[in-house]
């Protein structure tokens, strides 16, 4: 594998992101929404308008009862007030799960565009006519989605942390963020889920003829995250470090499987014929 | 116009045509043997066989849809044949196509450039894909092809001619041994055509680059190609040098003569017709009839211009295609 070729492709595509409004608007919008507006909104509402959130209280009770780890449960129960408990749960459980939307949606949008974009511009032919091997081409495409998607996730994590700390430290007199959920997420699950999303969507992108078609199929990846969010809200599936680690491990194995699939079914002939 | 001197970048041994003529036993550089290709049950190429020697410029000619582009794709291994065998250099396009693509350059019909990137960015990117990043060379080629000023503009803003020239630079960045050119003159004005063809010729003469040029536009090609393959409905219906084709296909000579005074064309013993003011077209059975005819005309009136009309590529092409259809 020639590194210079791989980087040439990755670099070209990363630069190209700034020229694709559909992609970069998402890259800004998602962090603003899930790392800034939503946490500020939740925390402020709970803090200053507790009467507005009786359902929230119900939900928080469900979550607390759903937490398997006794130590964690005790710690939560010992918080000085219901408001404290609610904020802690929202920051570390509810928003934690929905935060996964940032890496997933970003990785999806970039990866979907990877091959479809080349097809729509008529440049895939040129790439396939060059001495680049398919492996180099795919690795370049994967990097071009992983670097920006992971970068945005890390930035969002810092943004989220700063904002919640500013809002919660005066109340709690301690750092409630990041708890172990967050640490497992950012250093284990998010990199793996980002690669998973990229691989699935690159596979779709290589096969689909247009962006619309690709989006419809590739978008399915987001559904489990919404499921995870609903799982928190209903108390049915409460995230814990062990569980997040397990999800990551399963996805890691899935990644290996998809990689095999990609190398097996994407030969040059197929890619070339699918573009026309 | 490109400056041809600066193309002598390597001390590549230039083989001229005469030298090559003397080599009697040589292995062709490219070989295609009974290659057929079907798309969804439809036959697009049918038993295509030909060979190309190193250093040749071969024109693959044929109307739209005759299968020229498909042939280039097959030779580059981006699609596989339904049957038949091919070889490019030491490589089999079905197995080691990456090696073929490394040593060859290609200009595709659509040029395949990134519209939202500048000309320079495009070339830097492709030079890396071809493991030949050399900014100096890129700048030099931009200069030669008259794109020095436009290099910082987005390719989307280029004219067809500029895109084609940028595509040419992209194709030769890595000094390929072999060049595939698909419709290199399509959509160009006469000046653009001349420029591109002149460059191809110079590249072939100075670097010994082997060229396979596909085209349905024959204008001026006879100055560049040393040999032709005529493709029609996926079959090679004729091939040879211009001379060979002429010998085979041209059995009458249409001679256009421009004189200084009106003459009565019928009196020279050959069928004749007026073709303009003091211009006459004679139909002769053989080339040996030309000299006596001209001598007789010259005795009556000054002769300004004599030209065999039906020996150029275009008339040959139509004759070959016509012959096939009959
Ligand atoms: N991928 C493909 N699928 C189906 N038909 C194709 C494909 N590529 C080319 N063809 C058909 O093959 C024929 C030859 O095409 P092509 O090689 O592009 O001709 P040319 O380059 O001489 O104009 C055309 O009829 C075209 O429609
Ligand atoms: Mg064509």
Residues B265 and B240 in one domain: no
The reported pLDDT for the residue numbered B5 is: 43
Q: Which one of B246, B265, B292 terminates a domain? A: B246
Number of structural domains chain B divides into: 2
- Atom 16, ligand 1: which residue's CA is nearest? B67
List the single residue in A4, A123, A272 with the smallest CB-CB distance to B128. Answer: A4
Taking 50 as the threshold, does the pLDDT of residue B314 lie above it?
A: yes
Residue nearest to atom 27 of ligand 1 (CA): B65
The answer to whether residue B127 scores a pLDDT higher than 50 is yes
Indicate whether B67 and B194 sit together in one domain: yes
pLDDT at B157: 95
Q: Best of B48, B70, B107, B213 to mutate for ligand 1, by most ligand atoms within 8 A of CB?
A: B70
Q: Are residues B276 and B169 in the same domain?
A: no
Residue B314 belongs to some domain of the structure: no
Can you give the pLDDT at residue B10?
Answer: 37
Say whether both B204 and B285 belong to one domain: no
- When pLDDT is averaged across residues A155-164 and rounded to a whole number, the result is 94
CATH number of the structural domain spanning residue B297: 3.30.70
- At residue A275, the pLDDT reads 66
Pairwise CB contact (< 8 Å): A129 & B101 = yes
Q: Which domain holds residue B296?
A: 251-309
Distance CA A50, CA A83 (A): 7
Q: How confident is the model at residue B99 (pLDDT cuts 50, 70, 90)?
A: very high
Are B52 and B177 in a shared domain? yes
**In this complex, is the C-beta atom of B130 within 8 Å of any C-beta atom belonging to chain A?**
yes
Give the distance (Å) from ligand 1 centre to CA of residue B43.
10
For A272, the closest chain B residue by CA position comes to B78
Please give the pLDDT value at position B25: 59
Q: A276: helix, coil or strand?
A: coil
Q: What is the pLDDT of residues A94-145, one digit of tens each?
A: 888 888 889 998 998 899 888 888 988 889 999 999 999 989 999 999 999 9
In B, minimum Cα distance to A15 occurs at B117
Taking the domains of chain A in order of start, what are their residue ranges? Answer: 3-47+70-275
Which tens digit of pLDDT belongs to each residue from B268-305? 888 888 888 889 999 888 888 899 999 988 888 899 99
Has residue B79 been placed in a domain?
A: yes
Mutation choice for ligand 1 from B41, B45, B69, CB with most ligand atoms inside 8 A = B69
Higher-pLDDT residue of B250 and B54 is: B54
From the CA of B70, how far away is ligand 1's center (Å)?
Answer: 6
Say whether residue B243 is in contact with chain A using an 8 A CB cutoff. Answer: no
Ligand (nearest to CA of B44): 1
Looking at the CA of residue B72, tell me the nearest atom of ligand 1: 17
Q: How many angstroms does the Cα of residue A126 sit away from the middle of ligand 2? A: 15
SS3 letters across chain B:
CCCCHHHCCCCCCCCCHHHHHHCCCCCCCEEEEEEEEEECCEEEEEEEEEEECCCCEEEEECCCCCCHHHHHHHHCCCCCCCEEEEEECCECCCCCHHHHHHHEEEECCCCCCCCCCEHHHHHHHHHHHCCCCCHHHHHHHHHHCCCCHHHHCEHHHCCHHHHHHHHHHHHHCCCCCEEEEECCCCCCCHHHHHHHHHHHHHHHHHHCCEEEEEECCCCCHHHCCCEEEEEECCEEEEEECHHHHHHHHCCCEEEEEEECCCCCHHHHCCCEEECCCCEEEEEECCHHHHHHHHHHHHHHCCEEEEEEHHHCHHHHHHHHHHHHHC
Does residue B265 sit in the same domain as residue B232? no
B124: CATH: 3.40.50.300
For residues B296 and B149, state if they share a domain: no
Residues with beta carbon < 5 A to ion ligand 2? B 69
Residue B136 has a pLDDT of 96
Query: Which chain A residue lies closest to B78 (C-alpha atoms)?
Result: A269
Chain B contact set for A14 (CB, 8 A): none
pLDDT at A146: 96
- Position B9 scores a pLDDT of 37
Residue B68 within a domain: yes
Query: Which positions in chain A touch B173 (Cβ < 8 Å)?
Result: none
**Contact between chains at A121 and B115 (C-beta distance less than 8 A):** yes
pLDDT number for residue B1: 45
Please say if the pLDDT value at position B325 is more than 50.
Answer: no
- In this model, does residue B84 exceed pLDDT 90? yes
| B246, B266, B294 - which closes a domain | B246
pLDDT at A161 over 60: yes
Nearest CA in chain A to B101: A131
What was the pLDDT predicted at A268? 84
| pLDDT tens column, B196-250 | 899 999 999 999 999 999 998 887 888 899 999 999 999 999 899 988 888 877 7
B163 in a domain, yes or no? yes
Among protein residues, the one with the nearest Cα to ligand 1's atom 20 is B65
Query: Is B275 among the domain residues?
Result: yes
Going by pLDDT thresholds of 50, 70 and 90, the confidence category of residue B17 is: very low
The pLDDT of residue B87 is above 90? yes
Distance CA B50, CA A144 (A): 43
Contact with chain A for residue B47, Cβ under 8 A:
no
Report chain A residues whose CB lies below 8 A from the CB of B79: 269, 272-273
- Which chain B residues are closer than 8 Å to A7 by Cβ? 128
User: Does residue B316 lie in a domain region?
Assistant: no
pLDDT in tens, A200-248: 988 888 888 777 777 777 777 778 877 877 877 777 777 888 888 999 9
Pick the atom of ligand 1 nearest to B64's CA: 23
Considering the domain boundaries, does residue B8 fall inside one? no
Looking at the structure, tell me whether residues B139 and B267 fall in a common domain: no
CB contact under 8 A, B106 and A4: no
Residue B36 sits in the same domain as residue B112: yes
Cβ-Cβ pairs closer than 8 A, A with B, add up to: 65
Last residue of a domain, one of B222, B246, B270: B246
Alpha carbon of A24 to those of A113, A197, B146: distances in Å? 12, 17, 35
Q: Which of A2, A130, A272 is the best residue to mutate to test the B interface, defined by the most B CB atoms within 10 Å of its own CB?
A: A130
Smallest CA–CA distance, residue A145 to chain B, in Å, is: 18
A60 or B107, greater pLDDT: B107
- B71 contacts in chain A (CB < 8 Å): none
Ligand 2 centroid distance, CA of B98 (Å): 22
Mean residue pLDDT across chain B: 87
Chain A residues contacting B via beta carbons under 8 Å: 2, 4-5, 7-9, 12, 16, 19, 121-123, 125-133, 268-269, 272-273
Query: Quick one: what percent of chain B has pLDDT higher than 70?
Result: 91
pLDDT in tens, A48-87: 876 666 777 777 777 777 777 777 778 778 888 888 888 8
B283 and B183 share one domain: no
Using the mean position of ligand 1's atoms as its centre, give its distance from the Cα of residue B272 in Å. 44
pLDDT at B326 over 60: no
Asked if residue B270 and residue B232 are part of one domain, the reply reads: no
Q: Is residue B302 part of a domain?
A: yes
**Among A91, A97, A79, A96, which residue's Cα sits nearest to residue A46?**
A91
pLDDT of residue A97: 83
Residues within 6 Å of ligand 1 by CB: A 273, 276; B 39, 44, 62, 64-70
How far is residue B216's CA from residue B83's CA, in Å, rounded to a whole number?
Answer: 26
């Amino acid at each position: 594998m020639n590194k210079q070729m791989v980087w040439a492709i990755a670099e070209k595509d990363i630069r190209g992101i700034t020229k694709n409004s559909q992609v970069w608007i998402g890259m800004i919008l998602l962090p603003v929404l899930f790392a800034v507006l939503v946490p500020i909104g939740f925390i402020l509402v709970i803090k200053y308008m507790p009467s507005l959130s009786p359902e929230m209280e119900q939900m928080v009770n469900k979550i607390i009862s759903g937490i398997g780890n006794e130590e964690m449960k005790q710690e939560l129960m010992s918080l000085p007030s219901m408001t404290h408990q609610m904020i802690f749960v929202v920051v570390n459980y509810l928003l934690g799960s929905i935060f996964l939307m940032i890496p997933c949606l970003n990785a999806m949008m970039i990866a979907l565009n990877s091959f479809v974009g080349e097809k729509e511009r008529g440049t895939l032919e040129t790439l396939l006519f060059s001495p680049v091997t398919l492996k180099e081409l795919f690795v370049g495409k994967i990097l071009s989605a992983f670097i920006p998607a992971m970068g945005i996730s890390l930035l969002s994590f810092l943004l989220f942390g700063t904002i919640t700390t500013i809002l919660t430290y005066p109340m709690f007199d301690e750092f409630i963020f990041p708890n172990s959920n967050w640490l497992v997420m950012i250093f284990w699950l998010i990199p793996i889920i980002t690669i998973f999303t990229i691989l699935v969507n690159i596979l779709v992108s290589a096969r689909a003829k247009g962006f619309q078609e690709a989006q419809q199929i590739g978008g399915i990846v987001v559904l489990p995250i919404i499921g995870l969010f609903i799982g928190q809200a209903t108390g049915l599936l409460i995230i814990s470090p062990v569980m997040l680690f397990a999800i990551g491990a399963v996805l890691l194995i899935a990644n290996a499987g998809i990689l095999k699939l990609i190398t097996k079914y994407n030969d040059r002939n197929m890619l070339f014929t699918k573009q026309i | 116009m490109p400056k041809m001197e600066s193309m002598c970048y390597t001390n590549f041994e230039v083989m001229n045509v005469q030298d090559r003529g003397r080599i009697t036993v040589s292995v062709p550089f490219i070989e295609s043997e009974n290659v057929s290709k079907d798309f969804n049950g439809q036959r697009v190429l049918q038993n295509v066989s030909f060979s190309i020697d190193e250093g040749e410029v071969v024109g693959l000619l044929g109307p739209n849809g005759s299968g020229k582009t498909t042939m280039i794709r097959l030779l580059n291994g981006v699609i596989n044949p339904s049957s038949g065998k091919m070889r490019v250099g030491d490589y089999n396009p079905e197995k080691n196509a990456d090696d073929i693509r490394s040593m060859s350059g290609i200009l595709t019909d659509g040029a395949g450039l990134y519209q939202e990137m500048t000309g320079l960015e495009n070339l830097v990117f492709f030079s890396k894909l071809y493991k030949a990043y050399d900014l100096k060379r890129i700048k030099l080629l931009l200069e030669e092809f008259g794109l020095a000023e436009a290099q910082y503009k987005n390719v989307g803003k280029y004219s067809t001619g500029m895109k084609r020239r940028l595509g040419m630079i992209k194709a030769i960045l890595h000094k390929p041994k072999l060049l595939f050119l698909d419709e290199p003159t399509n959509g160009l004005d006469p000046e653009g055509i001349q420029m591109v063809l002149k460059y191809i010729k110079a590249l072939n003469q100075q670097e010994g680059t082997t060229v396979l040029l596909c085209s349905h536009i024959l204008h001026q090609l006879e100055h560049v190609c040393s040999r032709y393959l005529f493709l029609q409905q996926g079959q090679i219906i004729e091939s040879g040098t211009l001379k060979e084709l002429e010998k085979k296909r041209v059995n009458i000579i249409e001679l256009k003569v421009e004189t200084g005074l009106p003459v009565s064309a019928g009196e020279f013993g050959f069928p004749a017709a007026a073709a303009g003011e003091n211009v006459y077209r004679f139909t002769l059975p053989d080339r040996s009839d030309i000299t006596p005819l001209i001598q007789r005309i010259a005795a009556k009136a000054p002769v300004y211009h004599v030209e065999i009309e039906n020996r150029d590529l275009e008339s040959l092409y139509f004759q070959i295609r016509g012959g096939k259809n009959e």
